Structure 1
Amino acid sequence: MPGMGGGMSGMAGIPGLNEILSDPEVLAAMQDPEVMVAFQVVAQNPANMSKYQSNPKVMNLISKLLAKFGGQA
């Protein structure tokens, strides 16, 4: 997949990123191409989250990130 290797570089300055990336479940989810595509789609347009509400892998990652970074769904 293009962009997967260097896609994280822009996130280096986000506070708490090291902590969330040390979570084995988050790391596993980020290795799953299906989850990463869904994450990118939702990141571009949060309204797209409804497409993935029935996918537990995607929702688990999003829930963990929202809990850590305090985002509102």
Structure 2
Amino acid sequence: KEVDSNSNPLGQRTLYRATIAPQLAIKSKLAARPVLRAYYTQSWWNKENKTSMGESAPAYIDKTSGAAYGFQAEVWF
């Protein structure tokens, strides 16, 4: 059985995540590079997971959802 840092039993923890990440590429082949990708991720978790999420991301210590967005580039050389 899983316990927290004070040896208290944890309940059933859940995490759901949805991501959208369209990309732009110069060529249309599957492995074509370079590419530029924009992404947006939305995550939801239950109250049993709040402490665990807050330990790795303190801004979410009292939250049950969060989002991340940005850009990613890939090149081959």
Normalising by the smaller structure, the TM-score range is under 0.3
Larger Rg over CA atoms = 2
- TM-score after normalising by structure 1: 0.27
